Amino acid sequence: MDDSLILEVADFEHDVLTGIYSEETGRPQPLRFTIKVRMKPLRRYDPETSLDHSKNYMDLKFAASEALPEGVHFKLIEAVADHVCETLFVQDKRIEAVTVKIVKLAIAEADEKIGITLHRERRG
């Protein structure tokens, strides 16, 4: 098995226009994101290795917040996750795979975690 480097941002919350029911449309809903990207690592990281040999974690947060198109309503959170994946693939050719977990916070009644996980491998 080849080595891999997994970068992760866990439990990042951001409001997104999403939902299919009338009470969900027209206003943002709080979503909790966990985003993982897989990259090929260097053979070795020494203390002087620069950031351009990895990825800035803030790029993962950006993909789930500022990179989402303003004013666009996503009917499904699957579409939100897909947009996050595509943003990260376009942003950095070194990313081999992206996993996005989204939990819809507004519909939990007893602190259960209701949502989806989408995993995408880079195509072509």
pLDDT in the model for residue 89:
97
All structural domains of the chain, each given as residue ranges with its CATH number in brackets, are: 5-121 (3.30.1130.10)
Express each pLDDT in 5-40 by its tens digit: 999 999 999 999 998 887 777 889 999 999 999 999
Neighbours of 117 (CB within 10 A): 12
Q: 0.95 exceeded by the pTM?
A: no
Express each pLDDT in 69-104 by its tens digit: 999 999 999 999 999 999 999 999 999 999 999 999
pLDDT in the model for residue 117:
98
pLDDT in the model for residue 102:
98
